[in-house]
Structure 1
Amino acid sequence: MRVTTDLWVSALLRRVFAAGGFAAVVRRGASEAGAVFVLSRNRLGEVALFGPAPQTTYDSARPDERHFSELYSGDDDAAVEARLDKEKRFDPDIWVVEIEAGQTPPEELLAITTP
């Protein structure tokens, strides 16, 4: 059984805060099954956007784990906002969580896969 998105996001926020970083829910989506997009910002102003990974990347040994793939990396906030606006038009129930993880890389907080 997969945990609700609301619970998963709460756990992500706790992991970020426990690692000495900061996190905020920018957009709250469907509590039970909304897709999650994570915007990671470092102290130099660089931004990385992570979104749900394709279904083919999921591990059958760990079916409950949420997997992410990197959708954007750079310093253009307008490009990130444009991508998120596109996702919101496609699915209005998405979650957007912004994190500044400090010394902890996003790979330690999220299950990131490369397609």
Structure 2
Amino acid sequence: MRLKSAIWVSAFLRRCMVQGIFGAVVKKGAEEAGAVHVIVNHLDGTCHMLGPAPGEACDEAGERRFIAEIAPPRSAADAMALLQRRMRFDPDLWIVEVEDRKGMAGLEPCA
């Protein structure tokens, strides 16, 4: 069984806070099943954007699966432009942004 999107986002942001990583919800989506997109801002003008992986929503361990949709040297503005286009088709999606200079805020994109 998959966690509701609102619970997953809350737990993810709490885990980031414990690790000293600032994060915030940019756009709140559907509480139960909205697609979650995470922008990892590296605070140097570049970012990663992770989105839901195609196929199974969760792996064998029950963790959400993500794919890297945008990788550096792209900017957060590029990520938001892509998400603005996606919101026309899926108004229920979530956008979460975290600031992590060193990594991916604990998320690992699948291959």
What's the offset of the Cα at 1:58?
5.1
Q: Which structure has greater helix proportion? A: 1
Structure 1, gaps ≥5 residues long: none
| Residues 54 and 89 of structure 1, relative CA distance in 2, 3 Å threshold | same
Same amino acid, percent of matched pairs: 40
Cα distance in 2, alignment partners of residues 6 and 58 from structure 1: 16
The equivalent of 1:53 in structure 2 is: 53
Q: Deviations over 1:51-107 (max 9, x none)?
A: 001116853x33x3211010012233332122101211110000000001344x21x
Q: Aligned with 2:24: secondary structure?
A: strand
Q: Aligned with 1:83: secondary structure?
A: helix
Do 1:26 and 1:97's aligned partners in 2 also have CA atoms closer than 8 Å?
yes
Q: Aligned with 2:78: secondary structure?
A: helix
Aligned-pair Cα RMSD in Å: 1.8
Cα distance in 2, alignment partners of residues 102 and 46 from structure 1: 10
The equivalent of 1:86 in structure 2 is: 85
| Residues 88 and 113 of structure 1, relative CA distance in 2, 3 Å threshold | same
Structural mapping, 1:15-26, within 5 Å: 15-26=15-26
Larger deviation, residues 7-16 vs 79-88: 79-88
Structure 2, gaps ≥5 residues long: none
Q: Aligned with 1:55: secondary structure?
A: coil
* TM-score, with structure 2 as normaliser: 0.87
